[in-house]
Homo-oligomer: A and B are copies of this chain.
Amino acid sequence: MSVTAPDGCQIDHRVEALVTDLIGRVADKWTMVVIEVLAAQGEMRFTALGHAVTGISQKMLTQTLRQMERDGLVIRTVHPVIPPRVEYRLTDLGLSLGDAFCGVWIWAEQNLARIETAREKFDQRP
């Protein structure tokens, strides 16, 4: 909300804001899928990633990978050959995030049906 609270507590609040912000970047749709694919495939090239991550545009793939590189989640290796060959792989940090997010993937697989029925029920309201 735009309402700024009188802000009684301080440090806890700061850390929580930072963590929330971090979650906002890292729990991004494309970031999660890229991590998933890289965790499964190991090292991959740009176009291969583009094919593996269904639905992503080149612009967003570039952007997502840059951000992940900046955050220390992936390592970008450029082989100076023609045509260019660029490979991406997860750092330990990236792998650990993949592990942490694993629970959500499992949850999604297990509860897919429940959510679909919940939606149908909701859409049939009076």
- Seen from chain A, the residues whose Cβ lies within 8 Å of a Cβ on chain B are 1-3, 5, 15, 17-20, 22-24, 26-29, 32-33, 50-51, 53-58, 61, 69-72, 93, 96-97, 99-109, 111-112, 114-115, 117-119, 121-123
29 contacts between A and B (CB under 8 A): A1-B55, A1-B57, A3-B50, A15-B109, A15-B112, A19-B105, A19-B108, A20-B33, A22-B112, A23-B32, A23-B33, A23-B105, A24-B29, A26-B104, A27-B27, A27-B32, A28-B29, A69-B122, A70-B119, A70-B122, A71-B119, A93-B114, A97-B111, A100-B106, A100-B107, A101-B103, A101-B104, A102-B103, A103-B104
Pair A104/B54 contact, Cβ less than 8 Å: no
Which residues of the partner chain B approach A104 to less than 8 Å between Cβ atoms? 23, 26-27, 97, 100-101, 103-104
Which residues of the partner chain B approach A108 to less than 8 Å between Cβ atoms? 19, 22-23, 26
